[in-house]
Amino acid sequence: MAIKGASLSVYLTLRRVWGAVFARGQEADRFAELPEISLGSGVLWVHVGDATDGAALSDVLEELLEDRPDLFVLVTKQKGSDTKRLASLLPANARVEIAPPDLPSAANAFIRHYKPDVCLWLDLTLNVSLLEAAKNVELIMADAAVPLPGAGNWLPGVQRAALRYFDKFLVLDTRQDRKLRRLGVADDKREVVGKLQGVTAPLPCSQAERDSLAELFAARPVWLAAGLPLRELGAVLTAHKHANRRSHRLLLVISPQDMADGEKMLAQVEAAGWSAGLRSRDDEPESRVDVYIADLPEELGLWYRLAPVSFLAGSLLGDGPGNPSEAAALGTAMIIGSNSGEYEQSCRRFIEVGAAISVADAAELVEAVERLLAPDQVALMASAAWAEITAGAGALDRVVETVNAALDARGV
């Protein structure tokens, strides 16, 4: 697509001069020396930003590769990003590289080497030189929104002009759609599809066991500490103590991060004065039990279904929680600590839409548990979680459909 604009031309000329004087072609040489690759089955290039949901991208690529197993997939990130962690989330045949800098010589060498047919752009920072070099590539921006200030932000009109490189915008929400329209993006290029996020299959459980336990609990309130490390046990017991003053029949279910810690946790819980049960020795969570330690594997789906409120443990003092989408998909209101680990983007998203409460320390955990003793608040959060889960599935399907259509149009 031919892009016109005096500001854009000036910017690219200045970047070309900068590259010739200061970079001395080193970045271009790096791409020129890359080994040859087979291009017979077509090339899909995906450029991601730091905020990209790696799990969602993995789901997109798996669906695309199911129909196109020989498709070459290249994923790029900006310099300074963690490519190893991203590669660990993606299909084995996806190559992850550092993208060239915003220099025409490097960008042109990159495009000449890989010859991508279609690009899925998932970064709100626009590498203008790279977009110019890829002007003959079908460019699709997903999670589309107003770009972040980039290198050309000092020159009026560059960001606006750079948006014209894109052939399709799969827009984040109606607010961003209005902003993109004001920036001159044509109506036929924009489609509001929502946030791209991974599709999480509900964790399994025995329906008979679920029904039996639900009958045993009767109208008793229950909350869950999911994936609890030993170091967070004290904070959870403190929260349970405070909440128990308001709801005397409240049951705490603990699913340990390490199932081998079950007996250690039992000893600490009983030493704190609680009546406790241990699932691995066939104890039942009967009415006398205050804390029930569910130390059998593969049962988290059961407890998410039974507990209206879940603290995603590991997020206060540990290395991060488990997948929040697994909890959200089963209708439990979530409490998440400040360390969300590898699920940072997902946790932030659920907090923003009101499906989860963020807590910074043990004191805030106490407040969150007490707040969620109100059933109406829990119901609102569960509804928000489900809406976010289903919206993400629709966005993922639409991204896959759009990329497939672009690859078909290119004869890939």
Quick: pLDDT tens for 139-160. Answer: 999 999 888 766 555 555 777 8
Say how far apart CA 356 and CA 25 lie, in whole Å. 49
Band (48; pLDDT cuts 50, 70, 90): very high
pLDDT reported for residue 19: 62
User: Higher-confidence residue: 50 or 318?
Assistant: 318
What is the rounded average pLDDT of the residues 253-269?
Answer: 97
Which residue has better confidence, 112 or 279?
Answer: 279
Are 395 and 349 in contact, with CB atoms under 8 Å apart? no
Which residues in 21-112 belong to E strands, given as ranges? 43-48, 72-77, 94-98
Helix H or strand E segment including 409: helix 375-409
Predicted confidence at residue 27, as pLDDT, reads 55
Q: To which CATH superfamily is domain 207-391 assigned?
A: Glycogen Phosphorylase B; (3.40.50.2000)
177 band by pLDDT with thresholds 50, 70 and 90: very high
* Global model pTM greater than 0.85: no
Proportion of the chain above pLDDT 70, given as a percent: 90
Q: What would the pLDDT profile of 313-354 be if each residue is shown by its tens digit?
A: 999 998 899 999 999 999 999 999 999 887 887 898 899 999
**Mean pLDDT, rounded, of the chain:** 88
Query: What distance in Å separates the CA atoms of residue 176 and residue 180, rounded to the nearest whole number?
Result: 6
Amino acid at 335: I
Lowest mean pLDDT of 62-66, 101-105, 114-118, 389-393, name the range.
389-393
Per-residue pLDDT averaged across 125-140, rounded? 93
Q: What is the pLDDT of residues 217-237, one digit of tens each?
A: 888 999 999 999 999 999 999
Lowest mean pLDDT among 30-34, 193-197, 231-235, 379-383: 30-34
Q: Looking at residue 195, what DSSP letter applies?
A: -
For residue 75, the SS3 value is: strand
pLDDT for the residue 26? 56
Confidence of residue 2 (pLDDT cuts 50, 70, 90): very low
CATH number for 6-17+35-196 (one of 3.90.78.10, 3.30.365.10, 3.40.50.300, 3.40.50.11720): it is: 3.40.50.11720
pLDDT digits (tens, 9 = 90+) for 73-95: 999 998 766 677 777 778 887 88
Specify the pLDDT at position 262.
96
Alpha-carbon distance of 410 to 193, in angstroms, equals 23
What are the domain boundaries of the chain?
A: 6-17+35-196, 207-391
Q: Identical fold at 6-17+35-196 and 207-391?
A: yes
pLDDT of 387 over the 60 cut: yes
